[in-house]
Amino acid sequence: MYVSKGVTCFCGWSNKPVWTCQNATCNGVCIVISSDQHKLYQIYIIVLQINTHSVPASLISGIWFALLGENQEKVKPNRMSASEDFDEISGDRPDKIKNSNTIEALTEIENTSGDSMKGTFDENDLRDLQVLLDQPQKHVTPFETYISYQISTKTRRIEFEKQNYVVRRRYSDFEWLKNQLSVCYPTLIIPPLPEKHSLFEQIDRYDRDFITSRMLLLHRFLNRLADHPVLSCDKKYQAFLIDTPVEFSTFKKSFTGFGLFGKVSESLQNMASSYISKSRTVEFEKMSEYVDKLSEKIHTMEKIGQRIQKERIAYLQDLQMMQPILNHWRAYEPNLSEGLQAIGEASNTCAESRRKLVDSQKPNLSVPLHEYGLYIESAKDALRNRDNAQMDYEVHMEQLCRVKAEQTQLETAPLSDHPVMFGMNMWKSPEQVQQQRMQQLEAGASTLAQQVEVSRDKMECANENLRADFERWNQIKSRDLKNILQRMADLHINMYEQSLAAWSAALPTVKNESQPQT
């Protein structure tokens, strides 16, 4: 094996030279770390000392991924304990190289995450189901990299065996839960998930700000479900909160598909929307118009906020340049030194307060407004699903009316008016043909009558579910939007109060220097 001159090679797991490492935790696979200044903590080469009887073939393939440059994650050469080797997400044993890579990569976020990524339950919260999402961790395997989040549950409900649970879930688990709830409760307004990262965010999807923002939105998603009187009692949601990784993986496999009703084609949905637009009731028509107008207003607020933010940033940049310019001016105007210094300090205070306002724009206004735009889309989906239920009822009702109309026509029309029948019925008398057709229509009418009753019940349930959930959602929406705008108003007030105090403090000094010397 060739090793570059000046490079010290040692085992990344036991901190021993690779040639003398006999530690059992290595499993015969030693990761050689380069201590070169230009390649610090970079995987330099991998020594294969594999006992094929004790190391699975899948691990060998993972090693070759690293050799070929597929795994470029940095590995820190510190010894890990057995508890650190265990992967809470996959539930795998600690004797696998995948878990070692995972735990080493987790330290990259853990070392940079402060107290803001760790939350606590509110002691004054009296809800019987409380959910807390915090402590994101980065997991790296030879085949994928992802972020997991810790979910802590505190409950007093009798359907839970314990009062406290702690599990870890990744974003794909949240997507599974959202999809399952959307299929099981099509006419309820399901809270939205944060969107998938864009192409630009793909580069920084492990950035601290991006992870923090997504973590807060996922926390809000879980608590909205916890506050919902129907969704919080769903078995899938409860399994999401309390099941171990192995149990939850098995539970998810039992729901492999969405069934026949979950696979509605796009053409059928388009037909439903065009059909229902002609016969939708006044109540739900007003509801649809309301969410459409609300969506437009939220979108307009987003655009105005972005434009104001752009202008505010430009003004902040100009304000930050004022103090250096005034300090330079002081060198040429000794008599105005104190006044210029006071103005510079006041402008610097104003710039700092405005910078805080600029930084608070995204988490306090832009992201919440965009999320509520997604929430409104969920309300539109619930309306469309209710329209589909009404369309199903009306289609069956029309078919039943046609069958009954044909029955009436056969009963009232004379036999001479019946068309001549060919094929299997050509040797039957008109009376026999009429009787056979009447029997077919009677059987079809009976089946359609049952379908009409079933579809009517579904439509009435959909109407009641959407009516009650929309009223509840409307109240929550008004409260949330009020809090968003009030929070931004408070931030503006604080900024203006700080600016006023800064200029008020500088005003006496400026006035004294402006008075003529006697």
pLDDT above 90 covers what percent of the chain? 47
pLDDT computed for residue 208 by the predictor: 84
* Mean pLDDT computed over 112-131: 73
Position 406 pLDDT exceeds 60: yes
pLDDT computed for residue 69 by the predictor: 38
- Residue 99 in tokens: 């878990």
DSSP 310-375: HHHHHHHHHHHTHHHHHHHHHTT-GGGHHHHHHHHHHHHHHHHHHHHHHHHHIIIIIHHHHHHHHH
- Residue 491 in tokens: 């931030």
Q: Which of 50-59, 316-325, 407-416, 505-514 has the lowest mean pLDDT?
A: 50-59
- CA dist., res. 473 & res. 230, Å (int): 13
The model's pTM: 0.71
pLDDT category at 203 given cuts 50, 70, 90 is low
More confident site: 98 or 502: 502
pLDDT category at 426 given cuts 50, 70, 90 is low
If you compute the radius of gyration of the chain from its CA atoms, what whole number of angstroms results?
Answer: 34
Domains along the chain?
1-77 (no CATH), 80-263 (3.30.1520.10), 302-415+432-518 (1.20.1270.60)
- CA dist., res. 75 & res. 56, Å (int): 22
Position 506 pLDDT exceeds 60: yes
Position 483 pLDDT exceeds 50: yes
Smallest Cα–Cα separation from 343: which of 500, 501, 496, 510?
A: 510
Position 149 pLDDT exceeds 90: yes
Position 345 pLDDT exceeds 60: yes
CA end-to-end distance (rounded Å), the chain: 89
Mean pLDDT of the chain: 76
